[in-house]
Amino acid sequence: MAARADVVLVGIGAVGGILASELTAAGLKVVGLERGESPPYSDYALKDAVHAIVRHALHDSARHEPIARRDKEGENTRRRPVSSPTNQVGGALNRWTGQSNRFAPGDFKVFTQEIASGLAERAGASLEGYNVADWPIGYDDLEPYYTKYEYEMGITGADGENPFAGPRSKRFPMPPLRDTAKFVLFRDACRNLGYHPYRTPNGILSQRYKPPMPYAQGIPERPGCVYCGHCNNYGCHVHAKASTLYTHVPAALDSGNLDLRTRCKVFRINTSPDGKVTGVSYFDPAGTVQEQRASVVILGGYLYENVRLLLLSRSEASVHASGLGNTHGLVGQHIMAHEDVRVSGIFDDQIINGFIGPGSVGGRIDDFNSNNFDHTKLGFIRGATIGTSGSGTPIERYNIVPRGMPRWGADYKKYLTRYYTRSFDLNMQPETLPHKDNYVDLHPTECDAWGIPLPRVTFSLHENEQRMHRFLAGEGEKIMQATGAAKVWSAFSKRGSRWAGGTRMGTDPSNSVVNDKCQVHGIDNLFVMGASVFPTMAGYPPTATVAALTYRAADFIRSQNALFH
């Protein structure tokens, strides 16, 4: 059996990569177990839509790790190769879009500010079945860690452009990416309508960058984006798009304190009879069961896997009969996901060339996000950020067709020929609130290639989201009309993305799984990190907040000598 480590990390994605750098820098001996490979350049940097998108589900990194998905209890499940995590060192950051907003101060206090305050009632919102809780921390607690994330990853943005954003202690480390045709149209339309467009903060370098002191000096210098446009869902061939694969993992390896083991799949967290965590069991690349003991175990396997491991690690004989951290049956509850609203427009007098540059380069408004607008009588609370998207190679865009337009034949061909370069979309990330009918548990009969029960995800939108989406589609269409588009239409995605919840954080163990340091209630040496700890998910993508929470928890862990004797 291998020597006991100070820390074992389960998964080396965004969370695991940051932790590896943070904890090894403090001299801790860290074992990193990642079920995927450390992908070769030719794999993640490939600019090929058939390989990266059409056939992604067939790749080793996806097909061995399906989830079982259904909308409602009682339905049969379908296997889904999940788009995230990506099952590689670097995790989903090897393919992410890069949009990098911080949450706004109000996003942490939805219960107090919108439900207890009576605002939901004035809005006429129907919140039956929802179970909304405040975060145990606020924006100010995370602000220094957002800054650290922005300086280590290299986040671009324009200071002071978004009046709804929280206060910043430091400027963005870099100016925004260059303007695009769709941004100019969007910005002008929003200004005309009285909204507040800002350039999207991005995890994509606008120029050559290396983190300055006092940030981790082991993070290599990287070049700026060259606007190749094969970005969202692809890896970056010049390493301008941040991934721990080439930021934090090299820094951690340099320290000599990281023992990184790839193709090692953790299937159980081990505990002693008194309930303390002693380490993990995993399959090594040969499929042999191995054990790694450690003083501290940290799960960073993304929410499906974080939940699954806690549930799989139940032990009848101990206090953990229903799973780790699951005394109150909360593991897997309160999951959330954005189901995006898309508004598309085509132009007769504008050439957009949306295939140039990252999908996330462009602009957004927060005028319809959070509690930034008057919800009186709208029938729902919360909202979404609205912004430009619509990059993509022809394979990614041939299905974006106005209602009423045939989808094949000569007229369809004429449409695609004329408008492929003359179109763009608005996307939105509408906040979903935790609802009792949305959860992850273990599939009772279906297993993965290792014979381990699949995570079963039961999820659909409820009244608050449905009303919100209809409202947002209408506002989005108004904005698109104001850009001068010749034709405007909207569509609702039914595929959840940017999942959150399942191990939510809170102060009260009867209503949460981890505390504000991501430490499992009642098990001092077990931590769970990632968006699974979010009590609410905001109308923004998660990664900046995931990273800030991770840095904050790392600070705490490094200060707890008692964990390591």
Ligand X SMILES: Cc1cc2nc3c(=O)[nH]c(=O)nc-3n(C[C@H](O)[C@H](O)[C@H](O)COP(=O)(O)OP(=O)(O)OC[C@H]3O[C@@H](n4cnc5c(N)ncnc54)[C@H](O)[C@@H]3O)c2cc1C
Kind plus residue range of the DSSP H or E element containing 233: none
Other Cβ atoms closer than 10 A to 3: 10
According to DSSP, the β-strands at 453-458 and 336-338 are: unpaired
* Near ligand SF4 by CB under 6 A: residue from 92, 110, 165, 204: 204
**Does 225 contact ligand SF4 by CB under 6 A?**
yes
Among 17, 85, 197, 229, binds ligand SF4 (CB under 6 A): 229
Number of residues lying near ligand X (CB under 6 A)? 40
Instruction: Return the exposure string of 344-359: e unless at least 16 CB atoms fall within 10 Å of the residue's CB, then b.
Output: bbbbeebebbbbbbbb
Contact between 421 and 394 under an 8 Å Cβ cutoff? The reply is no
- Strand ranges for 1-92 from DSSP E: 5-10, 30-34, 66-70, 78-81
Q: Which listed residue (77, 113, 360, 393) binds ligand X by CB under 6 A?
A: 360
Site for ligand X in 68-107 (CB under 6 A): 83-85, 87-88, 91-93, 95-99
Residue 49 site contact among ligand X, ligand SF4, another protein, none (CB < 5 to 8 Å, cut-off depends on kind): another protein
Minimum distance from residue 115 beta carbon to ligand X (Å): 26
Work out what residue 356 binds among another protein, ligand X, ligand SF4, none; the CB cut-off runs from 5 to 8 Å by kind: another protein
Best CA proximity match to 535, nearest among 200, 112, 125, 84: 112
Of 178-186, 300-308, 370-378, 455-463, which segment contacts ligand X by CB under 6 A?
300-308
Phi, psi values for residue 482, rounded to 5°? -70, -15
Q: How far apart are CA 520 and CA 523, in angstroms?
A: 5
Selected from 136, 201, 358, 501, the binder of ligand SF4 by CB under 6 A is 358
What the block records as the tokens of 140 is 């100010």
Of 237-245, 454-462, 465-473, 527-535: span binding ligand SF4 (CB under 6 A): 237-245
Report what 420 binds from ligand SF4, ligand X, another protein, none; CB cut-off 5-8 Å by kind. Answer: another protein
| Binding characters for ligand SF4, 238-277, by CB under 6 A (x = yes) | x-xx------------------------------------
Q: Determine the longest span between alpha carbons in the chain, in angstroms.
A: 73
Let me know how long the chain is.
565
Chain positions 318 to 357 lying near ligand SF4, rule: CB under 6 A, are: 357
Sites for ligand X among residues 182-221 (CB under 6 A): none
The residues, any chain, with a CB within 8 Å of residue 159's CB and separated by 6 or more, are 168, 171, 172
Measured between alpha carbons, how far is 142 from 150 in angstroms, rounded to an integer? 12
Contact 251, 215 (CB under 8 A): no
Out of 131, 233, 278, 560, point to the residue binding ligand X (CB under 6 A): 233
Q: Which is nearer to another protein, 392 or 501 (CB)?
A: 392
Q: 542: cis peptide before it, omega within 30°?
A: no
Tell me which residues touch another protein (CB under 8 A): 40-43, 46-51, 54-55, 58, 178-181, 184, 225-230, 237-238, 350-351, 353, 355-357, 393-395, 398, 407-410, 412-414, 416-417, 420-421
- Residue number with CB closer to ligand SF4 (17 or 323): 17
Beta bridge partners of 199: 363
174 binds, among another protein, ligand SF4, ligand X, none (CB under 5 to 8 A by kind): none
514 strand-pairing partners: 505, 520
Identify whether the C-beta of residue 341 lies closer than 8 Å to the C-beta of residue 425.
no
DSSP label of 2: P
Question: What separation in angstroms does the CA of 541 have from each of 100, 236, 439?
Answer: 7, 20, 20
Comparing CB distances to ligand X, the nearer of 98 and 197 is 98
Contacted by 166, from ligand X, another protein, ligand SF4, none: CB < 5 to 8 Å by type: none
Which residues form the interface with ligand X (CB under 6 A)?
Answer: 10-16, 33-36, 83-85, 87-88, 91-93, 95-99, 232-233, 265-266, 300-302, 305, 360, 498, 530-531, 541-543, 546
Which residues form the interface with ligand SF4 (CB under 6 A)?
Answer: 204, 225-231, 234, 236, 238, 240-241, 357-358
